[in-house]
Structure 1
Amino acid sequence: MSISSPDPASASLTPAIAAGLLSAFVGFASSFAVILQGLIAVGASQAQAASGLMALSIAMGLCAIILSLKTRMPISIAWSTPGGALLAASAGQEIAGGFAGAVGAFLICGALLTLAGLWKPLGRAVAAIPPALANAMLAGILLGLCLAPVKAVAALPVAGLSIVIVWALVAKFKRLYAMPAAVLVTLGFIIAGGEISAASLGSLWPQPVLVMPAFSASALLGIALPLFIVTMASQNIPGIAVLQANDYRPDPAPLFRATGIFSLLGAPFGGHAVNLAAITAAICAGPEAHPDRDKRWIAAVVAGIGYIIFGLLATAATAVFSAAPPVLIQAVAGLALLGAFANALVMALSEAQSREAAAITFIVAASGLTLFGIGGAFWGLIAGGAILALTRWKRGT
């Protein structure tokens, strides 16, 4: 009697479960410091920041589960890490209404994301923004945070150097684990500092905080529109590309629409935006998740469950990291964004014809400029767009 080789379709689900758990852990641990830093920068209290982190985690978990079950594809969802960096770059910028004004901007962004899935011309309009300018704006937003590790080394040499060295060593062998390792080292220094107490942790049970939104033109132009653009250009569109690279062909419109709806649901509780994942999507959509591509959706469902669990721990996570010196949290956030910054800068300056316009977009976005209550990200895109239009007009193209 011959023994046949196992059918890939009947292979164990263990790889899919493991890939989903890894995706959730990496997705949360690698960038939650960016989200906390961003929410606090636009006026959130510790309780409101914890609520926002919880709302985002649960929203992206539920969205991933629903979309993956419906499509039977590994649809991975993440929070908008570039969006969190945009918020962090807004530190010091006057926002009408404080955090309530920021929540109003989050709602507008969610509405725009939903509209992009309902009205195709809007999605095409975002895709029509010259990639060089979109990447230059993103690089300008990220620059300030990417300088934070250097500042941390200057301010707290032992802790700062330890975090950077561990991150670099782990990245040399397995880049996927570099940020979780840096987070664990940071956690060790926080605990060693003795700043955490039972009182500071408070209740470990999640405490959602409902924020009544306020709306203003400055928040619309300074937060909502740049947040929508970076979320679409740096997350949703690359997320579709990752799925296509793994031979999945979903209709983008329903996916954009779903992320917009869940962004709207999370916004009143402090969540800025959820979107299609790009980096963690590769974990769930690749062959390592399961030899049978028709079973990889299970990995995305498991990742969604993992995000919900992490969301329920958001209050404790926020309390622990709020006990740390702000420069250390900024350093961890900066390390998490180095790859995105480098990629955005390379893409921004890769074409000679748009290089000058991209450079101007980058400089203005990174400058911290605020005019009429509107931050540098918006003005960078306007300035770069004007230079690019002038360049093309002079060339007659």
Structure 2
Amino acid sequence: MNGADTAWVSMATALVLLMTLPGLALFYGGLVRARSVLSIFMQCFALAAAMSLLWLLAGYSIAFGDVGGLWGGLSRLGMIGVTADDLRGTLPEILFFAFQMTFAVITPALILGAFVERVNFWWVFTFSAVWMLLVYAPVAHWIWGAGFLSDGGIFGEKGTRDFAGGIVVHETAALAALLLAVMIGPRRNRHTPPHNPGMVAIGAGLLWVGWFGFNGGSELAADGTAAMAITATHLSAAAASLSWMFWERLKFGRASLVGIVTGSIAGLASVTPASGYVSPLQAVIIGTVAGILCQESVLIVRERLKLDDSLDVFAVHGVGGIFGTIMVAVFGAASFTAQLGALLIVGLYTIALTWGIARAVALVFPMRVDKESETNGLDISTHGERAYDLNS
């Protein structure tokens, strides 16, 4: 065990959990109507708790068990027999478990942005639990757990490179989000503005800070690569924030707060798969392009395709993660065959499994709330609470 590595990854674990609670909760919560903000908080908290327990029960074993190929097997179910002295590399295995658990928490939580204000809480809770075990955990094994897309797999000695989750996290969550937005259908009032842009900005700031643990911690060591990943992460976010802001000003004559913070998330998502492989200047290039690319993708999904991916999960996280994954090859850290092949395989698997899980869970719980509940807001109709006294 290395003490410095253990201390750093312990901190990174806390930072990644901060991204979901309260970062993502605030970011998504500020973007919805005032009468549905608590539903976002409830979904984020419930998923954080459920995914953590499911990761202990079976998720970790599926992703990082001893079996190769398609899944990790059942040797780590419940972490039975694992002690504080067992190591994975230079880390206690229980810390590696905890760090990876925070990724299993945030990935299904990202999907929530696609269908806010209209989804049945019990459907999304059950869907997310099954999806994490059957989609996220196997894909994590394929790329990070010595599976068939990693080194020595189907792409040869040098397999897919995904430093912190461009494919494992962002592609899977974003494709699932887009498909579910289509299956559930649009909101009855799609054009309601964010109820609290300040809350959105606070959430985005917490996500930005938490991303240092997300990307820097993925090195699993306190070394130069971790430092470079943190620096690349910050610079990409900064570049994307500004390119989004200036592009918005050029096209619409003004730059918005929600726009610039969305640009920061686009830069963070885009640099995620590349953060441990690129230089600071290369990270700036990724972020600069991502701010414009993701903004244009938002317009395509909303205006041309007429899809209500309500909080732009696919356009920001999906397009950003896919773009960053390709840039790993552009900058020479991986082959295009391995990067594009993994994107295709994971994409097809995610779409197929997401559709099947969504339909199966819908046999037990309806996917969507009724018209009255949607109109009145999910806070009162689903949870019996309200965030604000709307009559004061």
The TM-score, its normalising length taken from structure 1, stands at: 0.29
Q: Looking at both structures, which has the greater relative contact order when contacts are Cα pairs under 8 Å and sequence separation is at least 6?
A: 1
Structure ID, larger Rg: 1
The TM-score, its normalising length taken from structure 2, stands at: 0.30
